[in-house]
Amino acid sequence: KTRLISRLGAGVNRDKTGARRLTYECLYHNVFLGSLQSSSRAYSVIPPPRDREEQEMVHRMLRVDHAGEYGANRIYAGQMAVLGRSRTGALIQQMWDQEKKHLAKFNEILAENRVRPTALLPLWNLAGFALGASTALLGKEGAMACTVAVEESISEHYNSQIRALMEQDPERYTELLEVIKEFRDDEMDHHDTGLEHDAESLPGYWLLKNAIQLGCKAAIYVSQRV
């Protein structure tokens, strides 16, 4: 919405004659009516569960997503501890900042819906940081290889959730789907950033990538359940 307002604002500056009224009408419809519509819903992202089964499905999804974003934050923290003052520091910080937003959103969703986070957060705290720092010790290419591996796993995970929700009831989960799609796009960007910054030139890249992705799969499996 902010982006929309600034775009419309720019329109007012460019064409002061005829378009101004139209612009304000658009503003009214998009922003004012839009917010009225969204505030008439009793929930922000997750609809109240229909039954126990749906509640469990949704909680499992949110729990693992939260765990993933938490782990991603710790990985970037580990990378920054090693490479923060290097030339790659700003780039890593940029990706980390996006992960902070992702995590904040899932923190909010978990709290609103009283979803219990995984009991393994202390483990992901340590393991994430260790993974980030140890790959960063291999140099910039190591950190980027780790980013490619992890972000590819997270994107695939989000994609499979999107498929599952679409199969269930796309109307019902519109808001959640929007959140997940937006985050999935960010993770794809991180993945591409890793490739653009020489991830593949790390000696043993494929071996490291496969090992990390195996770890991600295991982490996803247990974080849904524990």
Q: Does 152 bind Fe ion (CB under 5 A)?
A: no
Other C-beta atoms lying within 10 Å of the C-beta of residue 120 = 18
The helices-and-strands tally (H runs, E runs) of the chain is: 9, 0
Candidates 99, 133, 180, 199: give the one binding Fe ion (CB under 5 A): 99
Other C-beta atoms lying within 10 Å of the C-beta of residue 150 = 29
- In the bound state with Fe ion, the residue whose beta carbon lies nearer, of 96 and 205, is 96
Query: Which window, 52-60, 117-125, 131-139, 186-194, contacts Fe ion (CB under 5 A)?
Result: 186-194
**Nearest distance, CB of residue 96 and Fe ion, angstroms:** 9
Residue sitting closest to Fe ion (CB): 102
Q: Are 154 and 68 a contacting pair, CB within 8 Å? A: yes
**Nearest distance, CB of residue 85 and Fe ion, angstroms:** 22
Tell me the residue ranges of DSSP E strands in the chain: none
Candidates 65, 141, 152, 187: give the one binding Fe ion (CB under 5 A): 187
Query: Which window, 45-53, 62-70, 115-123, 195-203, contacts Fe ion (CB under 5 A)?
Result: 62-70
Q: Does 65 bind Fe ion (CB under 5 A)?
A: no
Task: Provide the CA 156 distance to its chain's centre, in angstroms.
Answer: 12
| Tokens coding 172 | 């019902």
Binding residues for Fe cation: 69, 99, 102, 151, 187, 190
Other C-beta atoms lying within 10 Å of the C-beta of residue 115 = 18
Q: Does 74 bind Fe ion (CB under 5 A)?
A: no
Q: Are 141 and 204 a contacting pair, CB within 8 Å? A: no
Q: Does 102 bind Fe ion (CB under 5 A)?
A: yes
Query: Which window, 31-39, 67-75, 137-145, 201-209, contacts Fe ion (CB under 5 A)?
Result: 67-75
Other C-beta atoms lying within 10 Å of the C-beta of residue 119 = 13
Interacting residue ranges for Fe ion, rule: CB under 5 A: 69, 72, 99, 102, 151, 187, 190
